[in-house]
């Protein structure tokens, strides 16, 4: 005897709908009917989302399918009072909390495949603005300081203590909630990515404006004056092995971008807060940004270049396991040139239009040997920047190693669940790395750089209401669109009405942030 059982789960913040009605609707159909409907739903979803690769081995296609599957099931597309947990739906790691991972590593997939889902993820932050404003107020600042670890309430959920200090035997305080404030600018960055990709005026004029203005107000109030300049002190950048520093480059440049974009949107949509506009204008004039050295390297912070470097070979060989903390305390690691993950390289990835290809390459070559990649978020970003610099062998190696974080022979830390952001990074590496997709100053850019292992890459893309299907190989790129669209291919403006094929050899022009000619990997 087979007894079908129907269960519904409703949270008190879901849209009002009696649970009994849902159960009755489900019970009116058989299991086989539900299975058929689910199968058809998945078939249509894969038809519109799947990325296909020709060449390489079966692992590459499997990794992409695996990533997209989890990106769908872990995302609460039905509502906007929840977001994506750090372990998705696969485990209780981090207690289901939400990090900057969502805006930077996970939202881009939804942005380019189903913008309504991306909008809901951003509205989750908007709903939690009151909690972020209260956290800023408690710390003596204005605007909104979002929690490093977030849940439903919008309150700070980061634990106070974590690992044991190997020197003292005492538990160490978690510094992220106190100083890893770049999350605030990351959210603003995601708002602008959404606005430029969708052109959604109703969102940017309301929720987007509120998020941009409140995050900008936070930075304006948090800056400290040093002589005639403003600086950002006591922060932690993406590199969590370097704590409580002044003028972290990633943070400072993202802060500038945050306030700059808030000011631009405020002017464009008639913000009546004249006091904010004046303060933002002065802030942008006075904020000190770390300067690129003559060798093209951007110092990570005020003190990084004065610290000693050590041989990291054995720690890099065990990337992801934080074995360096078995030999050194966090305080000792903080006083050496040791990165947990991409920091300046992360900045080069997120704001590519602001850095020359030569500087991106210099940063990659300087910082990667000093990076252990103890974060699952690191290798994919290095791979994308390597692809933009024409280092295709290195780029593919980083991407492949990133896929093996959860799919490899020795997946680490999976007992608490998969690494949700790493699944997003698999998509990022293929689409923003090898296909070279990026949004720069409101324009869609394609700068393909396929690894030699792949003969062809095909993927769908949503852009400002248009559905695109892009297929590329080493020689040419075919673009099919549902409506006329303009974009830049290797920096040159092109227009596509229905379907066009372009020879990539006709589009070799370098521009900021990306090298379009292949270089030999070093």
* Distance, CA of 203 to CA of 195 (rounded, Å): 8
Beta-ladder partners of 468: 461, 481
Beta-ladder partners of 479: 470, 500
* Distance, CA of 202 to CA of 115 (rounded, Å): 14
**∠ CA(134), CA(138), CA(144), 5° rounding?**
40
Report the Cα 164 to chain-centroid distance in Å: 30
Contact 467, 460 (CB under 8 A): yes
Closest CA to 377 of 86, 83, 85, 77: 86
Closest CA to 489 of 418, 436, 434: 436
* Distance, CA of 37 to CA of 43 (rounded, Å): 10
* Distance, CA of 396 to CA of 380 (rounded, Å): 9
Q: Say which DSSP state 195 is in.
A: H
Q: Which of 240, 243, 368, 401 is catalytic?
A: 240
53-57 long-range Cβ contacts below 8 angstroms, 24+ apart: 53/430, 53/454, 53/456, 53/457, 54/454, 54/455, 54/456, 54/457, 55/453, 55/454, 55/455, 55/456, 56/453, 56/454
Closest CA to 152 of 180, 130, 181, 175: 130
* Distance, CA of 46 to CA of 52 (rounded, Å): 11
* Distance, CA of 472 to CA of 502 (rounded, Å): 9
How many Cβ atoms from other residues are within 10 Å of residue 229's Cβ? 14
Buried b (16+ CB within 10 A) or exposed e, 208-218: bbebbbbbbbb
- 240 given a catalytic annotation: yes
Structure-token pair, residue 409: 């022979």
Residue ranges with strand state E in 187-327: 224-226, 229-231
Contact 111, 197 (CB under 8 A): yes
Structure-token pair, residue 489: 């291919």
Beta-ladder partners of 457: 53, 472
Do strands 492-496 and 466-472 pair parallel, antiparallel, or not at all (unpaired)? Answer: unpaired
* Residues with active-site annotation: 240
């Amino acid at each position: 005897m087979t007894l079908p059982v129907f269960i519904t789960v409703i949270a008190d913040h879901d849209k009002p709908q009696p649970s009994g009605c849902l159960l009755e609707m489900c019970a009116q159909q058989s299991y086989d009917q539900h299975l058929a409907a689910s199968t058809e739903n998945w078939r249509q979803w894969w038809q519109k989302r799947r990325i296909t690769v020709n060449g390489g081995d079966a692992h590459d296609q499997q990794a992409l399918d695996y990533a997209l599957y989890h990106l769908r099931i872990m995302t609460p597309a039905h509502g906007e009072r929840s977001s994506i947990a750090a372990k998705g739906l696969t485990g209780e790691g981090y207690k289901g909390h939400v990090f900057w991972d969502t805006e930077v590593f996970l939202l881009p997939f939804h942005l380019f495949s189903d913008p309504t889902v991306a909008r809901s993820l951003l509205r989750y932050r908007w709903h939690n603005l009151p909690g972020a404003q209260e956290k800023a107020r408690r710390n003596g600042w204005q605007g909104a300081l979002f929690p490093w670890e977030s849940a439903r309430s919008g309150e700070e959920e980061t634990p106070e203590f974590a690992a044991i200090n190997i020197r003292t035997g005492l538990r160490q305080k978690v510094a992220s909630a106190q100083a890893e404030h770049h999350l605030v600018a990351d959210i603003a960055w995601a708002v602008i990515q959404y606005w430029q990709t969708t052109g959604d005026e109703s969102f940017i004029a309301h929720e987007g404006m509120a998020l941009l203005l409140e995050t900008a107000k936070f930075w304006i109030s948090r800056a400290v004056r040093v002589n005639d300049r403003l600086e950002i002190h006591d922060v932690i950048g993406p590199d969590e092995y370097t704590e409580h520093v002044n003028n972290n480059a990633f943070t400072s440049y993202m802060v500038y971008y945050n306030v700059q974009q808030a000011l631009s949107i405020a002017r464009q949509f008639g913000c009546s807060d004249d006091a904010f506009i004046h303060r933002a204008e002065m802030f942008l004039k006075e904020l000190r940004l770390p300067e690129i050295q003559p060798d093209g390297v951007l110092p990570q912070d005020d003190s990084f270049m004065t610290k000693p470097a050590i041989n990291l070979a054995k720690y890099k060989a065990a990337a992801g396991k934080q074995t360096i903390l078995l030999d050194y305390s966090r305080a000792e690691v903080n006083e050496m040139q040791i990165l947990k993950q991409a920091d300046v390289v992360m900045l080069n990835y997120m704001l590519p239009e602001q850095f020359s290809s030569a500087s991106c390459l210099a940063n990659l070559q300087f910082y990667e040997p000093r990076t252990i990649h103890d974060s699952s978020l690191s290798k994919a970003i290095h791979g994308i920047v390597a692809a933009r610099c024409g280092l295709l062998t290195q780029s593919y190696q980083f991407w492949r190693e990133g896929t093996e974080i959860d799919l490899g022979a020795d997946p680490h830390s999976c007992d608490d669940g998969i690494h949700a952001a790493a699944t997003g990074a698999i998509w990022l590496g293929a689409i923003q790395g090898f296909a070279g997709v990026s949004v720069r100053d409101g324009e869609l850019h394609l700068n393909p750089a396929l690894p030699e292992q792949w003969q062809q890459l095909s993927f769908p893309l949503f852009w400002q209401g248009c559905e695109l299907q892009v297929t590329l190989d080493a020689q040419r790129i075919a673009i099919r669109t549902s409506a006329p669209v303009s974009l830049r291919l290797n920096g040159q403006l092109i227009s596509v009405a229905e379907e066009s094929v372009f020879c990539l050899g006709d589009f070799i022009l370098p521009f900021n942030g990306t090298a379009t000619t292949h270089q030999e990997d070093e």
